[in-house]
Chains A and B, each alone.
Chain A
Amino acid sequence: MRLLRQARNTLRLLFRRHRLEDELDAEVRGCFETLVERKIASGLTPNMARREARLEFDSVEQIKQSVRDSRSGASLDFLAHDLFHGVRSLRKNPGFSIVALLTLALGIGVNAALFSVFYSVLLRPLPYDRPQELGLIWTTFEKLGASRAPTSGVVWNELRQRSKLLKEVAAIWVGSGTFTVGGQAEQVKLGFVTTNFLSTLGVNALHGRVFTLDENAGGRLAVVLSNAFWHSRFGGDPSVIGRAVRLNGGPVTVVGIMPEHFELHFPRDSNVPNQVQAFLAFPNRLERAPRTLYYLRLLARTQAGARALQVQSELNSIAAELRQAYPEYAAENMRFEYVPLHADAVRELRPALVALFAGAGLVLLICCVNIANLLLTRANQRRREFAVRSAIGASQGRVLRQLLAESAVLSLVGAGLGVLLGHFGLQLLRAWQPAHLTRIADASIAWPVLLFIAVIVVACATIFGLTPVFEWRRRNLADTLRESGRGALTPVRRRLRAALITAEITLGLILLIGAGLMIQTLANLRSVRPGYEPTQLLTFSVELPGARYPGDKQRLQFFDNWERALTAIPGVESVGGISHLPLDDYPNWYGSYRVEGIPAESSKALLADHRAVTAGFLPAMGARLIEGRFFTPQDRESGMQVAIVDSVLARTTWPGKSPVGQRIEFEHYDNGRFVPRWAEVVGVVENLRHHGLTTPARGQIFVPYPQSSRPHLSFAVRTTLDPSSLAEPIRAALRQLDPEVAASRFQPMTVYVERALGPAGFSALLSGVFAALALALAAVGVYGVVSYSVSQRFSEMGLRAALGASASDIQRTVLGEGVRMSIAGIVLGVIGSLAVSRYFEALVYGITVLDAPTYLVSVIVVLAAALAGCWIPARKAASANPADALRAD
């Protein structure tokens, strides 16, 4: 009750101030006038009455002030006054204020933006129902040395039935399909899923429904469309639900539309992209598919509260049971690995983001150090001011309050600017849309963290802003006043400031070395030859509808005609098709191969990526032939079985020997089945970088398309024109050949390469920005300290000049001071970098984390920044006129 009243009074004071003031005035003045009237009534002249009343009455203004002071909201009134004073005092010293505000804003802004990215990608729960229960099950074939591999339908079915800790096990494989709507064919990414896949994620359809558990077991096939595809092809018309549309040349029924922001968040090596235009429940019984056809990516939902370790141990025992039950799985020594979905999806992003986050943290630290430094300098300059004020009667509390108010104004404005900067920084990052960080698209400023950062910076500003008060307790007022104007630094404070500069240089150097490594990594990746010539190359993919092209023969016929049609387009130099375009996210195909002359059981099994190519593909891509020959149109299905291997496979399989003429056995795709077949190696090409630009993990085997044909092919067209300009003529040519076949994903090959460079570019740019900020801040810090120390020693400089020191001697003295301060920081910075370097291992390419030139250059740059900070004060010191300097005191 009392609190309530107090709050009401305070509010009244704040918001109805004018009325309160008017009433108070009327009341007090009225009282005075009554007194005057009384005096007049008792016979005094009006003038006399007024004078007497005034003697009796205290001054009206004084009374009003004491009423104001007695009110409960009075301290707020003081606050307003102090804040006003704070603003005024900051405006009086714009140099200090601008640097301090910028520093605060940068520290807060950079961290706010980066942490928001960090939060939205790494920490924010996935947009599914109870996402912490979701996980992926990877298969490990120990004998082959293959981990994180897909699995077979039999395994999916067995896991589903045997596991008690897993509530659901679902599977997905993303391929492509061709929809024909209104006579227009369009190829899309088609997610083949088990019927429980979408319900396992816990996402419901926006319109219609997701699959029922026995969907597609008989009758017409059902599909669920993505929101974007529904809008682009069906105009967002809900009546499409229940309607039949043509997919791959046959009718399917649309049963549901997914919500607008639905996306899949799977790790990159699962080949499950973020956006899938349509989902189709597997039309076949998965558990009846060949036991060793491994292509399914398994998604699981655990029982509530089950921990990853428990699930893993259950999967271990199920794996043992399966090895007992199926000889194939025993032979491959099959195991499972369970990983929480979110952790696995960001597994490749985490190291770089953590490193960048740490970098932003260092920038924040440097900002705090700089603020501390600035405020210490300022406190020193104002020592006399405060001494005078306290000598003429300002209470200690009052001065403390004023300093607090100054810090508060500085912090509030700085934090405000920081939030603004963070907001724009985040907008910029979002607009940039790095392909590997899809989730930052809907990132927003992470407020709790922003608050936390702001508290740190503000606390720092407050603590150091109050140093004059700490000083007071130790020092005698009279001493301060007696000191000749600008007293020398106290030893404690001198050491403190030197320590702050050392810290700045240390942190700056660590950031600079990190950025140096990132930038060189980017440069190294850029200069990598990916095994092909990506410029002047247009790529696109074609999926043949199974209903119209059921067999190898029809497919061969079509693609032969198609390549001929392509070559006839003006501007086209050469063309070729491949089952798996390098750097594309089409599900990779890899498997084991056997080398003739080495018994199957005697050596570790060998794994390679398998690709089917048309004769023109490798030459059109600009692949480099190391040995032997490319495929020719004469390498047909009926002729000799041949293969081309890449440099990686050649080196590991036949070290020191020529692979040409050797024979290997691997699986060929033959009318829908995988069959092992022997083939003779006829050529060796340089590895075509497929999964990324860094060193490939596996070798590659190329086989002529006619000897292992499949419904999906990606094409590469080398041209003398602008590659993008060919898309339209190519579409037209395809429509002419068969209007029910669609081509999609027209993209210059350079786009794929740029996208592969994305993560490295992101890290390099951000770490570069951080390092630049750190350098600038460190230079400002050094400048502040040195220029202050020069101004303190101005008379000393003058004395030196008077005694015959040349300008360059003095300049050297000052620069020397800067260098001395930097040395400790550089030593600590190098030690710090060495200590954290192992965390960078995974992030660099083509350079070691202990790269000596990077360290050397970074040290030189930091030193240069420190010297730049000393330069202006050194010039000023050198220009000291002996007479002026000596007279100044």
Chain B
Amino acid sequence: MPDNSTELLKGTLDLLILRTLALEPMHGLGISDRIRQITGGVFVVKPGSLFPALHRLEEKGWLDSRWGETEANRKAKFYRITESGKKQLEQEKQNWLRVLTAVNQVIEQES
């Protein structure tokens, strides 16, 4: 996979995670379920990408976490978006829209 697409994906993943957690706190598997559900199966986030991303966002202070119990009574780590995470989400949204607009313009010009 070329580097630039990873970059893009990584940014997108952050946005998706933050957006998902803006609704309610969730544990890892829940987040990946929700993303699959919302995107209609377009994005399947594998644990190998999800967990590093979660830990990275937590280190940056955009998420915090707490141990809790899942619906199946299993111990799991629940992630919650923080205030600065919400600000970050806004920013990521703006960025994404800007990129989207720009890319759209390019596509429209071509056609």
Q: Residues of A with Cβ closer than 8 Å to B?
A: 5, 9, 23, 26-28, 30-35, 37, 56-58, 62-63, 66-67, 69-72
Contact A70:B75 (CB < 8 A) given known A31-B47, A58-B47 = no
Contact assessment for A70 and B77 in the assembled complex, using a CB-CB cutoff below 8 Å: no
A743 CA / B88 CA spacing, docked (Å): 91
Contact assessment for A62 and B48 in the assembled complex, using a CB-CB cutoff below 8 Å: yes
Residues of A within 8 A of B60 (CB): 5
Residues of B within 8 A of A66 (CB): 48, 51-52
- Of A33, A37, A56, A71, the contact of B55 (CB 8 Å cutoff): A71
Contact A37:B72 (CB < 8 A) given known A27-B51, A28-B47 = yes
A209 CA / B59 CA spacing, docked (Å): 65
A67 CA / B54 CA spacing, docked (Å): 9
Closest residue of A by beta carbon distance from B75: A30
Contact A67:B51 (CB < 8 A) given known A31-B29, A35-B29, A72-B59 = yes
A73 CA / B46 CA spacing, docked (Å): 24
Contact assessment for A31 and B27 in the assembled complex, using a CB-CB cutoff below 8 Å: yes
- Of A5, A30, A67, the contact of B61 (CB 8 Å cutoff): A5
Give the Cβ gap from A58 to chain B, nearest Cβ, in Å. Answer: 4
Contact assessment for A28 and B74 in the assembled complex, using a CB-CB cutoff below 8 Å: no
A32 CA / B72 CA spacing, docked (Å): 13
Residues of A within 8 A of B87 (CB): none
6 A-B pairs besides A9-B59, A31-B27, A66-B52 with CB distance below 8 A are: A27-B51, A27-B76, A30-B76, A31-B51, A34-B76, A63-B52
A-B pairs with beta carbons under 8 A, tally: 58
Contact assessment for B76 and A31 in the assembled complex, using a CB-CB cutoff below 8 Å: yes
- In the assembled complex, 6 residue pairs joining A and B whose CB atoms fall closer than 8 Å, in A order, are A31-B76, A33-B74, A35-B29, A63-B52, A69-B52, A70-B56
- Of A34, A56, A58, the contact of B70 (CB 8 Å cutoff): A34
Q: Residues of B with Cβ closer than 8 Å to A?
A: 27-29, 46-48, 51-53, 55-56, 59-61, 70, 72, 74-77
A5 CA / B57 CA spacing, docked (Å): 12
Give the Cβ gap from A16 to chain B, nearest Cβ, in Å. Answer: 14
Query: Could you say which of B51, B56, B74, B77 has the most chain A C-beta atoms within 10 Å of its C-beta?
Result: B51
Give the Cβ gap from A665 to chain B, nearest Cβ, in Å. Answer: 97
Give the Cβ gap from B22 to chain A, nearest Cβ, in Å. Answer: 21
Contact assessment for A27 and B77 in the assembled complex, using a CB-CB cutoff below 8 Å: yes
Residues of A within 8 A of B53 (CB): 70
A70 CA / B77 CA spacing, docked (Å): 18
Residues of B within 8 A of A28 (CB): 47, 51
Residues of A within 8 A of B47 (CB): 28, 31-32, 57-58, 63
Give the Cβ gap from A60 to chain B, nearest Cβ, in Å. Answer: 9
Contact assessment for B48 and A70 in the assembled complex, using a CB-CB cutoff below 8 Å: no
8 shortest interchain CB distances as A-B pairs: A58-B48, A70-B52, A27-B77, A66-B52, A31-B28, A67-B52, A70-B56, A67-B55
A520 CA / B24 CA spacing, docked (Å): 90
A266 CA / B83 CA spacing, docked (Å): 72
A63 CA / B51 CA spacing, docked (Å): 7
A58 CA / B72 CA spacing, docked (Å): 22
Give the Cβ gap from B20 to chain A, nearest Cβ, in Å. Answer: 16
Residues of A within 8 A of B48 (CB): 58, 62-63, 66
Query: Could you say which of A34, A57, A72 has the most chain B C-beta atoms within 10 Å of its C-beta?
Result: A34
Give the Cβ gap from A303 to chain B, nearest Cβ, in Å. Answer: 60
Contact assessment for A27 and B72 in the assembled complex, using a CB-CB cutoff below 8 Å: no
A70 CA / B55 CA spacing, docked (Å): 8
A31 CA / B46 CA spacing, docked (Å): 12
A794 CA / B70 CA spacing, docked (Å): 73
Contact assessment for A23 and B77 in the assembled complex, using a CB-CB cutoff below 8 Å: yes
